[in-house]
Amino acid sequence: MYPDLSAFHAPVSDIFTRPSAAADWKQHMLNEKQLSFFHEYGYVSGIKLLEEWQVDLLNEELADIVKPEHPGNGLFHEFYSNASTDADNVLFHALGAWRITKGFHDILWNPAFLMPASQLLGNRSVRFWHDQLFCKPAKHGGVVAWHQDYSYWTRSVPVQHLTCWVGLDDATTENGCLHYVPGSHRWGLLQKPELAGEMEGLMDFLNDEQKAAFKPIPIELKKGYASFHHPMLVHGSYENRSDRPRRAFVTNVFADGTLSDADQELMPGTPPVPRGEKIQGRFFPLLLNVKDLEEA
C-alpha cells in the first residue's frame, strides 16, 4: 500500500526549516499596511513563500502525481485530469496531494505561509482544511469560474477560513493568472456556480449594485510567490492560450475551533465529524499553535 502522509502531523523532510526562535517566525510577519489592505480589499498578494529550488522540487513531484496511474492516486480526495468537460479547456484540479508527496505535505508547515495565515485569521491557531492543485496546460488551459470559496464550504462554521494561492509558474494575464474582485468579501454569501464551468456563471446571482462594483484585477505573480484571500472574496481565472503552463498549489485553512455543520463526511473518504463538533483529527491537522510562537 502507498504510504499515506496524513499520518504525520509535522514535516517529514528538511525542505522547510522549522523555526526554533521567535525571530525565525517574526521574519515572516506581515506588516500593518498589508494587514489593513487585506481587511479593506479581501486579499494581500506578493508574499514570497518558496525558493526556486523548492518550486522545482514541487514541480517534479507534480509531474508524477498528475498521472492517474500513480500508485498514490487513491489517496486524493478528489482528482480530475480535466474538471471541465471540454478537451480544449483543460483544468487539472485535485485535492489531497499532501497525503502523497513529501513536498506537498511539508509545504503545509512552511513558516512563511503559517505566520501570515495566523495573522490574517486574527492571530489565531491555524488548522488545515484541505489543499488543491489548479493546473492549466499551455494553449488549451481552461477557466476557473468566478466564485467565493466559502460557497463550497458551508459544511464548516463559522466563517473563519483563509486561502493561500502559490504559483508554481510565473502567473500572468496571458497564462490565466488569478483575478480578484476587490471588496467583494463584503457582499455576503452568494450562490455557488460550477467551478470549471461558465466563467460568468456567478453574474446571474449578483444584484445591480454588485454588478456595478464588479471590477476584477489580475494578480500577476512570480513563481514561488503567494496571494492570500478571504473566504468570501469573489475570484476566478481566465483561459490559458499562451505557450506556458500555469500551475498552482492552494492551501485552505481555518482558525482552530471551526465546527462541522454536516453529518456526512467533510472530505471524500474521511470519517464524518458529527455536526456541532470541532473539526480535527488525522485529516485536519493543527498546523500552527499560537502558543508555539511565544515559546519559540
Site residues (CB under 6 A) for ligand AKG? 134, 144, 149, 163, 165, 178, 235, 237, 248, 250
Residue nearer to ligand AKG on the CB measure, 149 or 256: 149
C-beta closer to ligand AKG: residue 65 or 293: 65
Q: Which residue's CB is nearer to ligand AKG, number 16 or number 165?
A: 165
Q: Rounded to an integer, what is the distance from CA 163 to the centroid of its chain?
A: 5
**CA dist 160 to 84, 125, 180, 206, Å?**
29, 11, 19, 23
C-beta closer to ligand AKG: residue 198 or 292: 198
CB of 163 to ligand AKG, least distance (A): 5
Other beta carbons within 10 Å of 191 = 12
Which residues make Cβ contacts (< 8 Å) with residue 221, sequence separation at least 6?
A: 45, 46, 167, 170, 171, 177, 178, 227
* Residue spans of alpha helices (H) in 83-170: 102-106, 111-120
The Cα–Cα gap between 124 and 110 comes to 17
Residue 137 CA to residue 241 CA, distance in Å, equals 9
Find the shortest distance in angstroms from Cβ 164 to ligand AKG. Answer: 8
If the CB atoms of residues 149 and 169 are measured against ligand AKG, the closer one turns out to be: 149
Least distance (Å) from ligand AKG to the CB of residue 46? 16
State the minimum distance, in angstroms, from the CB of residue 196 to ligand AKG.
10
